[in-house]
Amino acid sequence: MRVMGLDPGLRALGWGVIETSGSRLTHVANGICRTGTGPLGSRLVSLFEQLSEVWERHSPDAAAVEHTFVNKDGASTLKLGQARGIAMLVPARAGVEVGEYAPNAVKKAVVGVGHADKRQIEHMVRLQLPGAQISGQDAADALAVAICHAHMSQSRALVMA
């Protein structure tokens, strides 16, 4: 199964693609869709176009995103939610259901504790995907989401068997 993990952000939307075979995880690709500054609508279109191109290039079977946490600034939370909508729209248009995970669940699945910092997450992603050249923290977070989804899918499959 090929899984795309997404770490939504308006300026930088991280993405990562892994393949699973049993309990084995293999890195396929990762990167960051960047929008810079400008009108919100134009930035959302840019995210949509960039992510759609990545989706077509890698043809994942599954996708997952991190839940949005609420910032102190409501406007920032709303903008993040709009970027998250784009992250969910692209896979949904392809007919792929999108898994959603709380940040603490992702951290626990990858690091073993729910309150790991970004450096710990990136370190553990590198250990689980040896040789992967990671494009930055947003891409590392996206790969962590993909790893979390792969683990959760395997657990669900065992329970259903």
Active site residues: 7, 66, 138
Rounded CA gap, 85 and 73, in Å?
19
Distance CA 154, CA 140 (A): 21
With 0-12 CB in 10 A as exposed, 13-18 as middle and 19+ as buried, what is 125? buried
The Cα 161–Cα 159 span in angstroms is: 6
36 close to 51: Cβ distance less than 8 angstroms: no
